[in-house]
């Protein structure tokens, strides 16, 4: 089993720069709380980075365009982004919903949530 983190943002350098600008100009309207929690404006959150690097759980991180391309979903609208899924033998299950994700404010809260739901 692996954890699949899906950002509500598209991949690419230009998209990354636009996302960083959005975080600076209007953080309250930024559409990807997973991005906001795990990455600051310019770099990965240090608390999150340490957790991610120390974790033994396999993790994959995808932007929404990468997720849609890789998983060929029959009904992609069933997944509200951002979210965290478990993936095992090609089967996806929601582990942390978009609604739950959007209630979190800091990397430490996300880490605690992951510890609660993966035990």
pLDDT in tens, 40-53: 767 788 999 999 99
> Who contacts 64 (Cβ-Cβ below 8 Å, separation ≥6)?
6, 7, 8, 9, 10, 81
In Å, the largest CA–CA distance within the chain is: 41
**Number of domains within the chain:** 1
Domain that holds residue 111: 2-117
Q: Are strands 59-63 and 83-88 parallel, antiparallel or unpaired?
A: unpaired
Phi-psi region of 89 (alpha: psi -120 to 50; beta: other; left: phi over 0): left
Query: Model-level pTM greater than 0.85?
Result: no
Residue pLDDT, tens place only, 13-43: 755 555 554 455 555 554 677 888 887 767 7
């Amino acid at each position: 089993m692996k954890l699949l983190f899906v950002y509500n943002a598209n991949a690419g350098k230009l998209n990354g720069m636009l996302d960083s600008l959005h975080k600076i100009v209007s953080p309250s309207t930024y559409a990807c709380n997973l991005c906001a929690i795990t990455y600051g404006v310019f770099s990965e959150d240090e608390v999150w980075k340490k957790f991610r690097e120390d974790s033994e759980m396999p993790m994959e991180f995808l932007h929404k365009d990468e997720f849609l391309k890789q998983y060929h979903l029959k009904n992609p609208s069933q997944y509200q982004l951002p979210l965290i899924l478990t993936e095992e033998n090609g089967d996806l299950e929601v582990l942390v919903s978009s609604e739950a994700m959007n209630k979190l404010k800091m990397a430490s809260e996300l880490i605690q949530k992951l510890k609660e739901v993966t035990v």
